Amino acid sequence: MYTLRVREHFDAAHHLVGYEGKCARIHGHRWSVEVEVASERLDDVGLLVDFGRLREVLRSILPDHLDVNEVYADLSPTAENLARAFYAQMKARVRGTVAVTVWETPECGCRYEETGSRC
């Protein structure tokens, strides 16, 4: 099984509605997002997915320099919910997407993988 990983970052603000604590106030992060794509098969060139294409697709879904609460008004913009939302978008665009990890800080993040999503 081959697994590719690419990571991109974006800068954005958010706040947690209904949360008691400092994160209830609007604040920003330099978020880091990693996508994993897996398959047992490679193309004729010997690639699973071109790294450049994978990074381009990932960059296209990231809400850079936006208020995440406005972009994802239908969910609480936690790392957990964003990981699931980004996963759904990546899976719709890139065959073999198996997981997305969203890091709010270098030390705190959430990995989302659908049950049974491995090839």
CATH number of the domain bearing residue 49:
3.30.479.10
Question: 61 lies in a domain?
Answer: yes
Question: Could you tell me the CA-to-CA distances from 32 to 15, 17, 45, 117 in Å, in that order?
Answer: 17, 22, 30, 22
Find the mean pLDDT for residues 1-18: 96
Question: 117 lies in a domain?
Answer: no
Question: 119 lies in a domain?
Answer: no
Give the total number of structural domains in the chain. 1
pLDDT for 30-46, tens place per residue? 999 999 999 999 999 99
Q: What is the pLDDT of residue 116?
A: 62
Domain extent at residue 32: 2-112
Question: 8 lies in a domain?
Answer: yes
Phi, psi at 36, each rounded to 5°: -115, 135
pTM for this prediction: 0.92
- Percent with pLDDT over 70 in the chain: 97
CA distance 111 to 65: 22
Q: What is the pLDDT of residue 59?
A: 98
Find the mean pLDDT for residues 57-85: 97
Question: 77 lies in a domain?
Answer: yes
Q: What angle do CA 51, 53, 59 make, to 5 degrees?
A: 100
